[in-house]
A and B are shown apart, each in its own frame.
Chain A
Amino acid sequence: MTADTPRLRLGIVAVVAVSLFAALFARLWFLQVLTAGEHELAAERNQRRVVPLPAPRGRILDRDGEILVGNRASNVVTVNRAELNTLDDDEQDVVFRRLGAIVDRPPSMLEATLNDTTLGPFTPVPVIEDVDEEVLIEVRERQAELPGVEARQLAVRAYPHGSLAAHVLGYVGAINSEELEAAGGPDAPGGYRRASRIGKDGIERAFEDDLRGVDGEVVLEVDAHNVPLRELSRREPIQGDDVVLSIDLEAQQAAEQALAEGMSQSQRSVDPDTGQPVIFGGSTVVLDIKEGTVAAMASWPTFDPAEFVYEITPEQFAALTDPAKGTPFVNRAVLGQYAPGSTWKLVTALAGLEAGLIDPEVKIYDPGVYTIPDCSSRCGRQNAGRASYEDVDLRKALTVSSDTYFYDIGARFWQQRARLGDRAMQDMAARLGFGERTGVGLPVEASGRLASPAVRAAQYEANPEAFLSGDWFIGDNVNVAIGQGDLAVTPIQLANAYATFATGGTRYEPNLALRVQKQDGTLVREIEPRVATRVELPAAAGAPILDGLIGATQSEDPRGTAFNAFAGFPHEQFPVAGKTGTAQTGGDRRDDALFAAFAPARDPRYAVSVVMERAGFGSTWAAPVARSVLGSLSGLEVPERVAPVAGGSRA
Chain B
Amino acid sequence: MQTSAAPGRLGAVLRGDPAAPWRHLDWPLLGAALSIAGLSCLMVFSATRTSMAEAGLDPYTYLKRQAAFLGIGLVVAAVVVSLDYRTYRDIAPGVYLGCLALLVLVLTPLGTEVNSAQSWFEVGSFQLQPAELTKVAVVVVLAAIGATSRSTLNRQRFLVCGAVAGVPAALVLRQPDMGSTLVLMAIFLGVVVVAGARPRHLAVLAAVGVLGVWAMFHFDQVDDYQRDRLTDFARSGSGATTSSGFQAEQAETAIGAGGLFGAGLYEGTQTKLGFVPEQQTDFIFTVVGEELGFAGSATLLVLYGVIVWRIWRTARLSRDTFGTLVCAGVLAMILFQVFENMGMSMGIMPITGLPLPLLSYGGSSMITTWIALGLVLDVHMRRFS
Cβ A31 vs Cβ B256 within 8 A: yes
**Please, which residues of chain B bring their CB within 8 A of the CB of A39?**
252-257
B277's closest neighbor in chain A, by CB? A224
Cβ A27 vs Cβ B294 within 8 A: no
Contact flags B264-282 to A (C-beta < 8 A → 1, else 0) = 0000011001110100000
Contact of A40 among B196, B259, B289 (CB under 8 A): B259
A36's closest neighbor in chain B, by CB? B259
Contact of B294 among A12, A33, A46, A222 (CB under 8 A): A33
Contact of A13 among B193, B254, B260, B321 (CB under 8 A): B193
CB-CB contacts below 8 Å: A307-333 with B? none
**A36 touching B274 in the complex, CB below 8 Å, given contacts A5-B196, A17-B331:** no
Interface hit among A18-26, A177-185, A298-306, A428-436? A18-26
Cβ B339 vs Cβ A13 within 8 A: no
Contact of A274 with B by CB under 8 A:
no
Cβ A21 vs Cβ B255 within 8 A: no
Q: How many angstroms from the CA of A13 to the CA of B332 in the assembled complex?
A: 9
Contact of B269 among A5, A6, A12, A43 (CB under 8 A): A43
Contact flags B309-332 to A (C-beta < 8 A → 1, else 0) = 000100110000100100010011
Cβ A36 vs Cβ B194 within 8 A: no
Contact of B312 among A17, A20, A225 (CB under 8 A): A17
Counting chain A residues whose Cβ lies within 8 A of the other chain, the interface size class is: 35 or more
CB-CB contacts below 8 Å: A193-223 with B? 221-223
Cβ A31 vs Cβ B260 within 8 A: no
Contact of B111 with A by CB under 8 A:
no
B50's closest neighbor in chain A, by CB? A223
Cβ A42 vs Cβ B194 within 8 A: no
Q: How many angstroms from the CA of A452 to the CA of B52 in the assembled complex?
A: 87
**A33 touching B260 in the complex, CB below 8 Å, given contacts A13-B190, A13-B194:** yes
| Nearest chain A CB to B153 CB, angstrom units | 11
Contact flags A60-94 to B (C-beta < 8 A → 1, else 0) = 00000000000000000000000000000000000
Contact of B297 with A by CB under 8 A:
yes
Contact of B150 with A by CB under 8 A:
yes
B274's closest neighbor in chain A, by CB? A224
**A32 touching B297 in the complex, CB below 8 Å, given contacts A12-B193, A46-B275, A224-B275:** yes
**Please, which residues of chain B bring their CB within 8 A of the CB of A117?**
none
Q: How many angstroms from the CA of A2 to the CA of B193 in the assembled complex?
A: 14
B275's closest neighbor in chain A, by CB? A224
Contact of A35 with B by CB under 8 A:
yes
**Please, which residues of chain A bring their CB within 8 A of the CB of B339?**
20-21, 23-24
Cβ A7 vs Cβ B257 within 8 A: no
CB-CB contacts below 8 Å: B225-277 with A? 250, 252-260, 269-270, 273-275, 277
Q: How many angstroms from the CA of A17 to the CA of B312 in the assembled complex?
A: 10
Q: In this complex, which of B258, B324, B328 has the most chain A Cβ atoms within 10 angstroms of its Cβ?
A: B258
**A40 touching B301 in the complex, CB below 8 Å, given contacts A10-B316, A221-B273:** no
Total interface residues in chain B, CB < 8 Å: 49
**A21 touching B308 in the complex, CB below 8 Å, given contacts A2-B151, A36-B259, A43-B270:** yes
Contact of A361 with B by CB under 8 A:
no
Cβ A28 vs Cβ B335 within 8 A: no
Cβ A224 vs Cβ B260 within 8 A: no
Contact of A14 with B by CB under 8 A:
yes
**Please, which residues of chain B bring their CB within 8 A of the CB of A40?**
256-257, 259
Interface hit among B33-41, B340-348, B367-375? B340-348
Contact of B127 with A by CB under 8 A:
no
Contact of B298 with A by CB under 8 A:
yes
Contact of B152 with A by CB under 8 A:
yes
Cβ B270 vs Cβ A32 within 8 A: no
**Please, which residues of chain A bring their CB within 8 A of the CB of B275?**
43, 46-47, 223-224
Contact of B331 among A13, A32, A42 (CB under 8 A): A13
**Please, which residues of chain A bring their CB within 8 A of the CB of B293?**
32
Cβ B252 vs Cβ A46 within 8 A: no
Contact of B305 with A by CB under 8 A:
yes
Contact of A122 with B by CB under 8 A:
no
Contact of A47 among B260, B269, B298 (CB under 8 A): B269
Cβ A27 vs Cβ B298 within 8 A: no
CB-CB contacts below 8 Å: B188-236 with A? 190, 193-194, 196
Cβ B308 vs Cβ A17 within 8 A: yes
Cβ A46 vs Cβ B270 within 8 A: yes
Q: How many angstroms from the CA of A111 to the CA of B308 in the assembled complex?
A: 62
**A6 touching B196 in the complex, CB below 8 Å, given contacts A36-B257, A224-B273:** yes
Q: How many angstroms from the CA of A9 to the CA of B342 in the assembled complex?
A: 26
Contact of A588 with B by CB under 8 A:
no
Contact of B260 among A20, A27, A32 (CB under 8 A): A32
Q: How many angstroms from the CA of A6 to the CA of B331 in the assembled complex?
A: 15
Q: How many angstroms from the CA of A176 to the CA of B204 in the assembled complex?
A: 67
Q: How many angstroms from the CA of A270 to the CA of B250 in the assembled complex?
A: 71
Q: How many angstroms from the CA of A36 to the CA of B263 in the assembled complex?
A: 12
**A229 touching B150 in the complex, CB below 8 Å, given contacts A28-B294, A36-B260, A43-B253:** no
**A21 touching B305 in the complex, CB below 8 Å, given contacts A5-B196, A32-B293:** yes
**Please, which residues of chain B bring their CB within 8 A of the CB of A16?**
335
Contact of A38 with B by CB under 8 A:
yes
**Please, which residues of chain A bring their CB within 8 A of the CB of B190?**
13
| Nearest chain A CB to B55 CB, angstrom units | 13
Cβ A223 vs Cβ B196 within 8 A: no
Q: How many angstroms from the CA of A553 to the CA of B21 in the assembled complex?
A: 129
Contact of A365 with B by CB under 8 A:
no
Q: How many angstroms from the CA of A25 to the CA of B294 in the assembled complex?
A: 10
**Please, which residues of chain A bring their CB within 8 A of the CB of B324?**
6, 10
Q: List 11 A-B contacts (CB under 8 A).
A: A5-B152, A9-B193, A17-B331, A31-B255, A32-B256, A36-B258, A36-B294, A40-B256, A222-B273, A223-B273, A229-B273
Residues of B participating in the A interface, judged by any CB pair closer than 8 Å:
150-152, 190, 193-194, 196, 250, 252-260, 269-270, 273-275, 277, 289-290, 293-294, 297-298, 301, 304-305, 308, 312, 315-316, 321, 324, 328, 331-332, 335, 338-339, 342-343, 346-348
Residues of A participating in the B interface, judged by any CB pair closer than 8 Å:
2, 5-7, 9-10, 12-14, 16-17, 20-21, 23-25, 27-29, 31-33, 35-36, 38-40, 42-44, 46-47, 221-225, 229
Query: What 12 additional pairs, Cβ within 8 angstroms, besides A13-B193, A31-B255, A36-B257?
Result: A6-B324, A10-B194, A10-B324, A17-B335, A21-B305, A24-B343, A28-B289, A32-B258, A32-B260, A32-B297, A43-B270, A46-B273
The 7 A-B pairs of least Cβ separation, nearest first, read A39-B256, A43-B257, A32-B294, A36-B259, A223-B273, A224-B274, A31-B256
